[in-house]
Amino acid sequence: MIALPLLALAVSSPDPEPLRAAVEACDRTAMTTLARAEPRRRAEWAEAVYKEQRAIAADRAAILPSAQSASGAATLASARQGLEARQEQLNDARAVERAWREFYDEYRADFLSSCSARKRDGA
């Protein structure tokens, strides 16, 4: 199982300010640096999410109810709540990542559209 704080570090979203600043300044060097780093960041993010989802699935399978006592039912309910919380945090991380990718893609398109013309026009 991946500890949730470790997962949070692995899937933390990038700071949008460097991207915003690079586009506003038409800073080709900064955009190149960001563009080169993004595929690796996305791959690492996907790996962390995959590992956490597998861990959640394995933990969920491990707590499938068998012959249970009254105290076992309470333990089972507690374990299920923990798994639900982990799944919810993972779902939130996915939503934040989708929002980042949309932000990144829109700003990259803006850079390509706006800054390419400025370079050609000498602006």
pLDDT digits (tens, 9 = 90+) for 39-51: 999 999 999 999 9
pLDDT digits (tens, 9 = 90+) for 105-123: 999 999 999 998 655 445 5
Q: How many helices (H) and strands (E) does the chain have?
A: 4, 0
Structural domain of 89: 4-121
pLDDT digits (tens, 9 = 90+) for 36-91: 999 999 999 999 999 999 999 999 999 876 656 667 777 888 889 999 999 999 99
pLDDT digits (tens, 9 = 90+) for 19-28: 999 999 999 9
Q: How many domains does the chain have?
A: 1
Q: What is the mean pLDDT of the chain?
A: 87
Rounded Cα distance, 33 and 56, in Å: 35
| Whether the predicted model's global pTM rises above the 0.85 cut | no
Rounded Cα distance, 117 and 123, in Å: 8
